[in-house]
Amino acid sequence: MAKKIVRKPFTTNYDAIRYCFKEGYKIYPSTTDNVTFYVTMEKGHQKATLTEKYMLKDIDFGINEIYNKLYDKRNK
């Protein structure tokens, strides 16, 4: 069963999305059974599927979280 995520209201950080696109990151949801979703990241020929599980209604929160983590990592 998928991990239940408490959905927090979030605002989309367009600077983070712009940075990730410019750097060549591709971040998208992937699934095998249409019930649980995972976030997949690609950069160049490298590909990683993260282990945290999401439901369909929570996957946008997970993707936005990854954009923000990559953007914050650049600034530190």
- Note the pLDDT tens digit of each residue in 36-63: 999 999 999 999 999 999 999 889 999 9
Count how many Cα atoms sit within 13 Å of the Cα of residue 16 in the half-sphere of its side chain.
Answer: 16
Closest by CA position to 26, among listed 41, 45, 37 = 41
Give the number of domains in the chain: 1
Residue 11, C-beta contacts closer than 8 angstroms, at least 6 positions apart: none
Q: Is residue 9 part of a domain?
A: no
pLDDT at 8: 64
Average pLDDT over residues 10-19: 89
Q: Is residue 70 part of a domain?
A: yes
Q: Is residue 1 part of a domain?
A: no
Distance of alpha carbon 35 from alpha carbon 4, whole angstroms: 12
Q: Is residue 45 part of a domain?
A: yes
Range of the domain at 47: 14-75
What's the mean pLDDT when you consider all of the chain? 88
Q: Is residue 51 part of a domain?
A: yes
How much is the pTM?
0.82
Q: Is residue 41 part of a domain?
A: yes
pLDDT at 3: 60
